[in-house]
Every structure is written in C-alpha cells, then in structure tokens.
Amino acid sequence: MNRTMLVNKTDIPALYYPVLIAVYMLTLLNYSVFRPGAAAAILAVLTWIWLFLSGSLPKLKDLNVPDKIMSLWLLYNLASAVWAGVFGMPPSVYIGELFTAVLPMVFYYIAAYSGEKSIRRFYVLFAAAVLVLGIFSIILYLSAPGFYIDFCFEHGLISKADVQTLRVRMVSVTGSTVLGYLGVALMPVSLRLLVDSGKRQWLLGFAGGCLIAFMSNQRASMSAALLVIVYFNIVLFFVYKKLDKKYLFAEVGIIIAGAVALFVAANAVFMKVFYRLISLPLAIGERSDQWVGAANNMVSIWTGNGLGANGHRAIGYAEHVIADGGLAKLYCETGIIGLSLFVFLVLLCLKRGFKNIRRFAPEVCIVLMTLVISIGSNTLSFALSVPVFYYALGRLSSAERGKVVE
C-alpha cells in the first residue's frame, strides 16, 4: 500500500468532528485528561499534514481566484502575529486564536479538492456526531444530574449551580453558542444528504438540528434556524422541485397548528421562545456600543489589532473586548485589509454557489447562516464551528472547477 492510499484510507478530515465531539463529551469524566482545546489543535495539525501527504493540492499556477484569495487570507492571519506582538498582545492570545480560528481553515482546501465520496463521508460523520451530541445534551438537560450541574458551574457554562439556571438554555458540554450553531449547520447538511441519497430519514436530522438550535435558547441560532426553514422551502419547492406544492400548504398548516398547540399546552415555553426572538434587535442594539467602542480604539484601522486581540483570551490585556459579535471582532482584529480579503472571498464563493444553486444550495445556506449568527456571536473563533464554515466555502469555490474527482 503506497503513501497516498494509506493517507486516503485514514481520512482524518472526516474524523475531525466525531473525535472532537467525543472528547468534549468525555470531559465529564475527567477534564484534566480530556482537553478539547488540545484535541482540536492536534486534529487541525494532523489535518494539515494529511492534506499535504494526500497530494491533492494543485500547483500554485493551477489555483483558482477564490483559492488565491483564501491563501492570502490565511497568510494575513498568520502574519498578524507581528503587529499583535508589537501592539502589546502576549503570544498566548495569538496562539490560542491560531489553533481555534486559523488552523481549521484547512477545511477549505480539503473540500475544494475532495471527491464526492469523501465529501459525502465528511457530511455523514458530521451529521452523526452532532446528532449524538444533541441526544447526549437533551438527556443531560432533562435529567440534570448533580455532577453535571457542578461541571457546568465549574467551567462557567452556568452562573449558578442549580437546576433552574441549568435549564435556562441547553448548554451541553460545549456551551450553548456552539451547540446552537451546530444545530443550525446540521439542518442544511441533512438536506444535502437527503438530496444525495434520497433517504427521507435525513429529514429527522433536519428536525433534530432545528430542535437543538431552539433548545440552546440562543437568539441568533433560533432566528437562523427559522431562516433555514424558509430558505429550504424555497429551494425544495421552487429550485429542486422535489415536492408537489400542495405539501408546502400542508407544511404551513402543520407549523401554524403546532404553534397554536404549543401556545395552549405549554404557554410558558411558547412565550419564552417568542420573547427571545423579538428581543433580537434590542440585543444587537445593546452590543453595538461594545463594537463601536472597540472599533474607535483600534491601533490601526488598516491592519487591525492582530489575531485574538479583541477576543475573550485578551481579557486583562485589552481594554475593549468583543464578547458577542464575530464580524465586529474580525474587523477590529484584521482591519480594513483583512476584512476586505474575507468579504471578497465570501462574495466570490457565494457567487459561484448561486450560479450553481441546484447543486450547492446547502453550502450557500451554511455560509449565509454562519454570517447571520456571527453578527451577535463569535462563531468564527470556535474550533467546532470554523471547520464546517470553511468546508462550505471550499465546496463553493469548486463550483466552476468542472469535473469532480471521485
């Protein structure tokens, strides 16, 4: 067996989510042994090694425009270590963000140069891992064992060690922000698998992702989940034309009936969800002061403050930390130059996706919903959310590449 065959058989990129989510779940047994941060860093490094050993990367001259912009964006983030250090950030801040936000960018290249079988395997294992995490999280949420409450309080997932606080939102072992995002991402991935395989069981994955997003009680994730439902109704009925339009009216009726039933049978739950959703504009308004304050105190509006300089790792080192607002944080850390590269990359990929919407509707959805959620959450800084976002961008970048290698 030659090196390439051995590398392809291991398929480390496809194992990223199952392994990392398993490590997160095992933290309940012993957090000092099972370290999610270390596991994410090791997996990201192994994925880079796998990419180079697989021989799938083309020569520089064969890279398309999105690939070149992506490479510039990656190099720019790596180079920001220079001005982050000059502006007074300790190396630990940069390194922490490097492992969670930059090294996972490898999944762009993985997706851009993978065959359909590898892509399907990645999506199947991603969906399976998130569904297992969701079931695991619901069990812990409903049973609320004492050791789990203590764990959540000790690691800052809840503010008080009691059942009432635990059940404000489903925090799982990842935190509600990441869990809500994974639920939203599961929805388009499930639709991708449904279209590819024709197996309607993946509709349960779609419903499961929606349930996870709402149980996380994260306003951004809940709103994004609703937008995903609208988006895919448009795609399924008017783009794919997979279903008769009579089912659309039936679906609308079921949703309305379900909402009414929830209002009558569990009014407190209905009103909790309702008030969370309508409070979203207020939350953005409250956080905008934080964003403006950080932007007005940038060391350089062109280069930004450097990777990680406005994230939670910079608490104690930076005066203005953006706790909730991934896009604002990205601007403050990378400046006009970095933000321009990122926006150009995303727009190029989305353009290709929309031109080939029948094939790439799920990936377009993942990218758009990530950006929506990133308005109020630091989605682009988490090791569990960054890979699937860049994977979707990599898929979109390949939309005009022609024949896909199997």
Q: Is 132 exposed, middle or buried (0-12, 13-18, 19+ CB in 10 A)?
A: middle
What secondary structure letter does DSSP report for 312?
A: G
Residue 4 has pLDDT above 60, yes or no: no
Distance CA 43, CA 11 (A): 12
Residue 52 has pLDDT above 50, yes or no: yes
Could you read off the pLDDT of 329-366 as tens digits, one per residue?
999 999 999 999 999 999 999 999 999 988 899 999 99
Reading the block at residue 305, the tokens are: 């403050």
Residue 55 has pLDDT above 50, yes or no: yes
Residue 80 has pLDDT above 80, yes or no: yes
C-beta separation of 316 from 51 below 8 A: no
Which residues of 139-285 form beta strands (DSSP E)? none
Distance CA 369, CA 283 (A): 18
Of the pLDDT bands very low, low, confident and very high (cuts 50, 70, 90), residue 262 is low
Q: How many CA atoms lie within 13 A of 142 on its CB side?
A: 6
Q: What is the pLDDT of residue 405?
A: 36
More confident residue, 240 or 89: 89
More confident residue, 83 or 109: 109
Reading the block at residue 44, the tokens are: 């990201």
CA nearest to 15, candidates 134, 105, 121: 121
Distance CA 344, CA 334 (A): 14
Q: What are phi and psi of 315, to 5 degrees?
A: -60, 130
More confident residue, 405 or 395: 395
* Residue 318 β-bridge partners: 315
Q: What is the pLDDT of residue 384?
A: 95
Average model confidence (pLDDT) for the chain?
86
Distance CA 225, CA 273 (A): 13
What's the first-to-final CA gap in the chain, in angstroms?
19
pTM: 0.91
Q: What is the pLDDT of residue 286?
A: 59
The residue-averaged pLDDT of 288-312 equals 84
The angle, 0 to 180 degrees and rounded to 10, between the axes of the packed helices 12-26 and 36-54 is 170
Q: What is the DSSP string of 350-392?
A: HHHHHHTHHHHHHHHHHHHHHHHHHTTS-GGG-TTTHHHHHHH
Could you read off the pLDDT of 190-238 as tens digits, one per residue?
989 988 888 888 889 999 999 999 999 888 899 899 999 989 888 877 7
Q: What is the pLDDT of residue 406?
A: 34
